[in-house]
Structure 1
Amino acid sequence: MALTFSASVAAAQDIDLTPLVSSVGLTDTIVALENDPPGPGRDFALGGMLFLRGIEKSLQLRYRHNADFGKLGLPVLRLPLPANPDAAPFYPALVTDLFHDLGTDMQGARAVLTGAEGDFGVTLDLTRVWFDINENGARDAGEGLMSAAGSAFGRAAPQSDLNSLVVRFDTADAAWLTAYTHLLEAFTNVFLAFDPTEVIAEVGHSIDAMSDLRGAEPNTRQSYLRGFESWIDTFAMFYGALNRQPDPLHTRALRENLLAMVAQNRRFWDLLALETDNDREWIPGAGQVSAMGIELPKDAGPLWMKVLDDAEGVLEGRLLAPHWRVEPAAGVNVARLLQDPIPVDIVTWVHGHGLLPYMEKGPLVDDGNLRLFEQMFRGDALLFMVWLN
């Protein structure tokens, strides 16, 4: 199949990505789009494919080493993964490598999305998008985007057995996707700030040493300790990483990414309010219907903006995070904490004395807007938070 994409879209108002991405996958679709002349539609399409390719690469790395982190429930790591019968050994730097590459990929996608200005339309059947998890060049069972989305979003997400789900992405959606690149890059900066490589190696070596000490003797409590053993190993890795000095370059980048996410999210809702069409929308505005069959209450956008306003206030230091020791007169300045971070010591943070240098008098952030948002969507609030970012 020829990979040039220009001939099919040069005179078209909309770009239909479905035939290409469904047949050749993300990598070759990116090659085709890179050979096409820049323009708002092409730049959105390419930025979107680069975004998905970053996620695909994280799945491929995990599959190569059977690194199934699904039980952690964390973004990207929670995506389902088939078992690899011929996996390479796990190595301590895998998590750091994964998030370093993902952050770089989000930056690359965002750089292209800056060109997605002006009117355009990009249609894509989401059920035809797939991740080449086992890197065999073909779509296998469990590699569809909707299979991953169903696991990531929960019960209210579109089901993985849908035959078709065509979305027409437009100008506002470029701001939404840009916001999402900032959100995922912010998440990568959390892991990079508290690089867990050394701790993972230490915990792994200690587990091996204790197994050698136990030897072949049967452990009569092993059957009911198995679940606890896995949990405590994971906790030891997380606690050990968080309780070390974080890299301030990454905590500061985390803050900047979250602030940029809020700004792009506002831009999205501003652009959405200007739309007059109702054509297979991704996130619907007033008078629009989502192609996903999910309806938004009319006040969802304004209320979500209030939630993000609260988050922005905390990130800028205008609002303080409450702490039981000093509320309601004072709180923790999260902006200063991210600017000059310290290890996360759970005991001293809960007690308060570990956070005392960051405590000050001032207005506290209120969770009223977040509670109203949760009440609006009841049990599906988390789904909509992930969707709206």
Structure 2
Amino acid sequence: MRSRFLLTVFAGTLLLSTHLVSAAPLAEEYLKTGQLSEGATALQAQLKKNPDDDQARFGLGVIQFFQSLEHLGNNLYQYGLRTERAFGGMPGEIREVLPQNPAPKTLSYTETRKIIQTWVNDLNAAEQTLSAVKDSDVKLPLHVGLIKVDLTGTGKPIDAGFLLGGFNTPEEQQQVAAFVLDFDRGDADWLAGYCNFLCAWGEVLLAVDGEEMFNCTSHLFFEKVDTPYPFLMDGTRRFDTVYNPATGVNRPLVSDILAFIHLWRFELKEPERMKAALAHLEDMQRHAKSMWKYYLAETDNENEWIPNPNQTGVLEIKVTQEMVDTWLVVLDEAGEVLQGKKLIPFWRGQPGVKGVNLRRVFTEPRKIDPFLWFQGTAAAPYLEKGTITDFANPELWRRINQTFGRNRFFTLAFWFN
């Protein structure tokens, strides 16, 4: 049931972006044909003629979001992401959606950083467009299941209906194709928030120096890589052959996996990017607050992506006022932590005496070592006395569990943004 819900949420995300485009009828047509670049050009021309057309602006932001996915997919395909050869039993649906390039280019660490930078640039463009939407009455109804994205750059776009079709009956596939979402002003904040979330991760990846990990382990994920250790590309590189019944343990692969784990420690390459990541997380929290302001003000009930307590959403999940109130408390608490006004509890030493100032982790960045963070010594520079976040308070989690249901909070949090 949970996996089915997540698939529905993913489908809705695709629909959301598409739906936003329908505000400009042109946008949906370009989304349905997979002509995203042409669609972006057409909507930019529309906005040049009519700068107040927030429907066109919303549609442009949706197209730009899908372009970020398309450009990322194209780059990964071009450089031979091992979607087929890393595993022997890859499901047919995945091979059709993300086939492996039979003649890939050689990937270098420098090119890897360029790919991530392109992804961040694309997401930033989408976020800025969506953040400029001001009309509280803007509407973007879209046939989400008909949106097409060319993830390989081979001129064979995949539509959202197909992505879901691999997991549904023919009747349900038809329903997906006919599925319409009426995206509104709050949904513009929803998508902008997710753009910020993804940008934050991109900035962190660019902040650290991952060249050693690339040199030693990138052959596991890409078919051809520029590494000082070319012998790593010899032999079997499939993850499902860690143990070979005929020859015993696949020592090279086991050693590669151990090296990958061992190399999870990163010096900083561009430390200023950690501040940029923090800014994106703060913007994400701001959008998450803003979207509920608009959701709660709605009086209609038309194919809602995320409904308020008086509406019925297309996912048919009841949203109560208590759920909204509790979620807003969570968002406020997250904002206090990001601003450094409240501290994350430290699990060593005297309980409740000191906590970790998460803001300083971003504004005063140091070498990132997850294992030393788990041990506690990496947190030492950021320990200080102060108010510990309510996320450490059992009463808050009791309220969350009572409101959202046990084991459902994080699933619904993904939906709520």
Q: Tell me the TM-score normalized by structure 1.
A: 0.79
In the alignment, what sits opposite 1:8? none
In structure 2, C-alpha distance between the alignment counterparts of 1:231 and 1:283, rounded to whole Å? 45
Cα offset for 1:52?
Answer: 1.3
Amino acid at match of 2:375: H
In the alignment, what sits opposite 1:74? none
Residue correspondences, number: 356
Specify the SS of the correspondent of 2:373: helix
In structure 2, C-alpha distance between the alignment counterparts of 1:192 and 1:281, rounded to whole Å? 37
For structure 2, list consecutive stretches of 5 or more residues without a partner in the other structure: 1-21, 87-96, 220-226
Cα offset for 1:311?
Answer: 1.9
In the alignment, what sits opposite 2:129? 112
Name the % identity. 24
In the alignment, what sits opposite 2:66? 52
Contact 2:193 / 2:287 at 8 angstroms: preserved in 1?
yes
Q: Does 1:268 align with 2:291?
A: yes
Contact 1:96 / 1:197 at 8 angstroms: preserved in 2?
no
In the alignment, what sits opposite 1:76? none
Cα offset for 1:270?
Answer: 0.7
Amino acid at match of 2:367: P
In structure 2, C-alpha distance between the alignment counterparts of 1:316 and 1:333, rounded to whole Å? 9
In structure 2, C-alpha distance between the alignment counterparts of 1:301 and 1:235, rounded to whole Å? 44
> Structure 1, residues 184-224: CA drift from partner, whole Å, max 9, x if none?
1111112111142343024454764467799xxxx996566
Cα offset for 1:386?
Answer: 2.4
Amino acid at match of 1:81: L
The structure-2 alpha-carbon separation of the partners of 1:268 and 1:346, relative to structure 1 and needing over 3 Å to count, comes to: closer
> Structure 1, residues 232-261: CA drift from partner, whole Å, max 9, x if none?
636644653633235321111111111111
In structure 2, C-alpha distance between the alignment counterparts of 1:370 and 1:28, rounded to whole Å? 48
In structure 2, C-alpha distance between the alignment counterparts of 1:313 and 1:41, rounded to whole Å? 34
The structure-2 alpha-carbon separation of the partners of 1:187 and 1:370, relative to structure 1 and needing over 3 Å to count, comes to: farther
Taking the TM superposition and a 5 Å limit, the aligned residue runs for 1:1-389 are: 14-16=23-25, 17-37=27-47, 38=51, 39-68=53-82, 81-118=98-135, 119-139=137-157, 143-145=158-160, 162-203=176-217, 205=227, 208-209=230-231, 225-226=249-250, 233=256, 236-237=259-260, 240=263, 242-245=265-268, 247-326=270-349, 327-367=351-391, 368=394, 369=396, 372-373=399-400, 376-389=404-417
Alignment RMSD (CA, Å): 3.4
Cα offset for 1:126?
Answer: 0.9
> Structure 1, residues 308-347: CA drift from partner, whole Å, max 9, x if none?
2222222111111122213321111111121111112344
Cα offset for 1:51?
Answer: 1.1
Contact 1:127 / 1:145 at 8 angstroms: preserved in 2?
yes
Amino acid at match of 2:99: P
For structure 1, list consecutive stretches of 5 or more residues without a partner in the other structure: 1-12, 72-79
> Structure 1, residues 337-364: CA drift from partner, whole Å, max 9, x if none?
2111111234443333332221111222
The structure-2 alpha-carbon separation of the partners of 1:200 and 1:305, relative to structure 1 and needing over 3 Å to count, comes to: same
In structure 1, C-alpha distance between the alignment counterparts of 2:43 and 2:31, rounded to whole Å? 11
Cα offset for 1:229?
Answer: 5.9
Cα offset for 1:32?
Answer: 1.9
Specify the SS of the correspondent of 2:178: coil
The structure-2 alpha-carbon separation of the partners of 1:347 and 1:33, relative to structure 1 and needing over 3 Å to count, comes to: closer
In structure 2, C-alpha distance between the alignment counterparts of 1:241 and 1:306, rounded to whole Å? 34
In structure 1, C-alpha distance between the alignment counterparts of 2:244 and 2:322, rounded to whole Å? 53
Specify the SS of the correspondent of 1:303: helix
The structure-2 alpha-carbon separation of the partners of 1:238 and 1:51, relative to structure 1 and needing over 3 Å to count, comes to: farther
The structure-2 alpha-carbon separation of the partners of 1:170 and 1:110, relative to structure 1 and needing over 3 Å to count, comes to: same
In structure 1, C-alpha distance between the alignment counterparts of 2:165 and 2:385, rounded to whole Å? 44
In structure 1, C-alpha distance between the alignment counterparts of 2:145 and 2:233, rounded to whole Å? 45
In structure 2, C-alpha distance between the alignment counterparts of 1:25 and 1:81, rounded to whole Å? 19
The structure-2 alpha-carbon separation of the partners of 1:168 and 1:98, relative to structure 1 and needing over 3 Å to count, comes to: same
Contact 1:61 / 1:98 at 8 angstroms: preserved in 2?
yes
Specify the SS of the correspondent of 1:299: helix
In structure 2, C-alpha distance between the alignment counterparts of 1:321 and 1:328, rounded to whole Å? 10
In structure 1, C-alpha distance between the alignment counterparts of 2:152 and 2:242, rounded to whole Å? 39
Q: Which stretch shows the higher mean deviation, 60-69 or 174-183?
A: 60-69
Amino acid at match of 1:349: W
Cα offset for 1:18?
Answer: 3.2
Specify the SS of the correspondent of 2:74: helix
The structure-2 alpha-carbon separation of the partners of 1:365 and 1:231, relative to structure 1 and needing over 3 Å to count, comes to: farther
Amino acid at match of 1:89: T
In structure 2, C-alpha distance between the alignment counterparts of 1:385 and 1:231, rounded to whole Å? 36
Contact 1:246 / 1:343 at 8 angstroms: preserved in 2?
no
Specify the SS of the correspondent of 1:36: helix
> Structure 1, residues 157-197: CA drift from partner, whole Å, max 9, x if none?
xx877232211111121222221221111111121111423
Specify the SS of the correspondent of 2:310: coil
In structure 2, C-alpha distance between the alignment counterparts of 1:83 and 1:296, rounded to whole Å? 41
Q: Which stretch shows the higher mean deviation, 124-133 or 364-373?
A: 364-373
The structure-2 alpha-carbon separation of the partners of 1:107 and 1:121, relative to structure 1 and needing over 3 Å to count, comes to: same
Q: Which stretch shows the higher mean deviation, 54-63 or 301-310?
A: 301-310
The structure-2 alpha-carbon separation of the partners of 1:354 and 1:233, relative to structure 1 and needing over 3 Å to count, comes to: same
Amino acid at match of 2:289: R
Cα offset for 1:14?
Answer: 4.8
